[in-house]
């Protein structure tokens, strides 16, 4: 069976190669360029609004910074902030699923956005309570793999566990899980390259869920592998007001719509094999530079600062990792918006492991630790 999984996985990787190596845009050239310190406080943001939808490890470096952190008084949550309940808290949802999958828990929903019919799969926590604000994880599919595989964990070793392994770790039922579906493309389901229609889809979908379910609007997370990583990183450029953190696996700034950055910080994590021949590890600088340019502590005028010069420190720290993975947590960022990069001696897959056995992947637990700090 494992041989069959590996064969299927190699077929999918061939599709990824098209996604990551057929460059249709020039990545940003980075300027010169690890666990974040504990939180300091700032005021919480006012709730954001959106239009209504039409729809029916290794050790990490210690902090060496002694400079005081200047926090922005107008943007961002302190770590471990109290939940911020959505409009749907205390109400009965009127959102009806199109169907329920054979597992009995995953439901398919459909909506019309930007004149396009869109779909997403969702798993509510067991014994869902409409008075408890739940965290949300959006798990985006990668090229050639349908969203239903992301939601159910069916298919190859690349989708062996629902929602990139996060649902299995949610033993306390604190999360709502969502797997949106991209559009049919030339090699399977893809995310849009030339316009913001997928951004509109995400915006309306999130609002739909906030209106119908009890959601902690301060703890919305996005994640994805390969093409799903590219889309997660794309959303991280202009949804800082709605997304607390983006977690990517094998990200690259190519073949994806990337809006102008809104100039606000966001927590961000990437897992990347240094031998990735599809979405090259060398391209990571471009993606992370986009984040770090606005993740430094705010200046006296409330503008977040550029700390991308620390990329050089990360590269020095990870170059001699040996046979185990290494995670570098950036030290110069505002501690409310941590940034972390985990590298390993592997290629283009999200199920990284230190012994070469994908079943022993350390990634889900490491990601869990990252998002649970908020």
pLDDT digits 0-9 by tens, 187-228? 556 899 889 999 999 999 999 999 999 999 999 999 999 999
Identify the residue whose tokens are 């995670």.
327
pLDDT of residue 243: 98
- Cβ proximity of 77 and 334 under 8 Å: no
pLDDT attached to residue 185: 60
The CATH number that applies at residue 212 is 3.40.50.1820
The predicted-structure confidence for 120-170, as pLDDT tens digits, reads as follows 999 999 999 999 999 999 999 998 889 999 999 987 666 779 999 999 999
**What pLDDT is stored for residue 359 in this prediction?**
86
Eight-state DSSP code of residue 85: B
Do 248 and 231 touch, CB atoms closer than 8 A? no
Reduced to 3 states (helix: H, G, I; strand: E, B; else coil), residue 28 is: coil
Query: Is residue 343 domain-resident?
Result: yes
What band does 255 get if pLDDT is binned at 50, 70 and 90? confident
Residue 197 is assigned to a structural domain of this protein: yes
**Could you give phi then psi for residue 251, rounded to 5 degrees?**
-80, 155
Q: Is the pLDDT of residue 176 over 50?
A: yes
pTM of the model: 0.82
Cα(369)–Cα(340) distance, integer angstroms? 11
Whole-number Å distance between alpha carbons of 12 and 7? 9
**Beta-carbon count within 10 A of 45 CB:** 17
What pLDDT digit, counting tens, does each position of 268-327 carry?
999 999 999 889 988 888 999 999 999 999 998 889 999 999 999 998 888 777 778 999
Angle between helices 2-21 and 227-235 (to 10 degrees): 50
> Exposure of 56 by Cβ count < 10 A (0-12 exposed, 13-18 middle, 19+ buried)?
exposed
Q: What is the pLDDT of residue 160?
A: 79
Q: How far is CA 274 from CA 151, 233, 369, in A?
A: 28, 19, 22
Overall number of domains in the chain: 1
Q: What is the pLDDT of residue 40?
A: 39
In the block, residue with structure tokens 């298919």: 155
Burial zone of 170 (CB within 10 Å; 0-12 exposed, 13-18 middle, 19+ buried): buried
pLDDT for res 39: 39
Residue 25 above 70 pLDDT?
no
Residue 12 pLDDT greater than 90, yes or no: no
Q: Is residue 327 part of a domain?
A: yes
Q: Is 40 contained in some domain?
A: no
- Residue 129: domain span: 2-22+84-371
The answer to whether residue 145 is domain-embedded is yes
Determine, yes or no, domain membership for 218.
Answer: yes
Residue 66 lies inside a defined structural domain of this protein: no
* Residue with token string 């996005």: 222
183-185 and 267-273: which strand pairing? unpaired
Average per-residue pLDDT for the chain: 83
Which residue did the predictor score with more confidence, 19 or 160? 160
| pLDDT band with cut points at 50, 70 and 90 for residue 6 | very low
**Residue 321 within any structural domain of the chain:** yes
Q: How far apart are CA 106 and CA 147, in angstroms?
A: 12
Q: Tell me the pLDDT tens digit for each residue of 335-353.
A: 999 999 999 999 999 999 9
pLDDT of 100 strictly over 60: yes
* 152 within 8 A of 141, measured Cβ to Cβ: no
Confidence category of residue 116, pLDDT binned at 50, 70, 90: confident
172 to each of 128, 135, 175, 220, how far by Cα in Å?
A: 11, 12, 9, 17
pLDDT score, position 350: 93
Per DSSP (E only), the strands in 242-303 are 245-249, 267-273, 296-298
Closest CA to 45 of 262, 230, 209: 262
- List pLDDT tens digits, range 232-241: 999 999 999 9
Q: Which residues are 268's β-sheet partners?
A: 246, 339
Helix (H, G, I), strand (E, B) or coil at 190: strand
Task: Give Cα separations from 296 to 258, 302, 332 (angstroms).
Answer: 21, 11, 6
Q: Which pLDDT band, with edges at 50, 70 and 90, does 41 fall under?
A: very low
Q: Which residue reads 């399977």 in tokens?
A: 188
| Alpha-helical segments (H) within the chain | 2-21, 147-152, 166-169, 197-212, 227-235, 284-292, 311-318, 363-371
């Amino acid at each position: 069976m494992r041989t069959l999984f590996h064969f299927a996985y190699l077929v999918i990787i061939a599709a990824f190669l098209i996604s990551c190596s057929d460059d249709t845009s020039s990545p940003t050239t980075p300027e010169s360029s690890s666990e974040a310190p504990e939180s300091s406080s700032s005021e919480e943001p006012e709730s954001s609004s959106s239009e209504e939808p039409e729809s029916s490890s290794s050790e990490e470096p210690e902090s060496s910074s002694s400079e005081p952190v200047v926090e922005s008084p107008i943007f961002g949550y302190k770590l471990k902030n109290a939940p911020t309940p959505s409009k749907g808290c205390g109400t009965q949802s009127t959102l009806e699923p199109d169907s329920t999958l054979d597992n009995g828990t995953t439901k398919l929903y459909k909506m019309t956005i930007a004149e396009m019919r869109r779909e997403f799969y969702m798993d509510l926590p067991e014994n869902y309570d409409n008075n408890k604000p739940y965290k949300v994880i959006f798990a985006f599919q990668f090229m050639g793999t349908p969203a239903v595989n992301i939601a159910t964990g069916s298919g190859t070793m690349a989708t062996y566990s629902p929602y990139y392994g996060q649902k299995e770790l949610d033993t306390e039922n604190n999360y709502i899980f969502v797997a949106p579906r991209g559009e049919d493309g030339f090699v399977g389901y893809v995310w849009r390259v030339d316009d913001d229609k997928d951004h509109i889809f995400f915006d309306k979908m999130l609002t739909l869920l906030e209106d119908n379910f009890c959601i902690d609007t301060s703890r919305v997370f996005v994640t994805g592998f390969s093409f799903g990583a590219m889309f997660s990183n794309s959303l991280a450029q202009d949804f800082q007001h709605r997304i607390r953190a983006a977690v990517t696996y094998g990200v690259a700034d190519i073949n994806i719509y990337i809006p102008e950055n809104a100039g606000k910080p966001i927590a961000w994590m990437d897992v990347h094999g240094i031998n990735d021949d599809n979405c090259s590890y060398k391209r990571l600088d471009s993606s992370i530079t986009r984040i770090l340019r606005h993740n430094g502590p705010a200046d006296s005028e409330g503008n977040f600062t550029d700390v991308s010069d620390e990329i050089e420190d990360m590269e020095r720290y990870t170059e001699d990792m040996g046979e185990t993975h290494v995670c570098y947590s950036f030290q110069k960022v505002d501690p409310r918006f941590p940034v972390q990069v985990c590298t390993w001696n592997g290629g283009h897959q999200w199920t990284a492991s230190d012994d070469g056995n994908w079943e022993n992947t350390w990634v889900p637990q490491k990601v869990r630790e990252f998002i649970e700090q908020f």
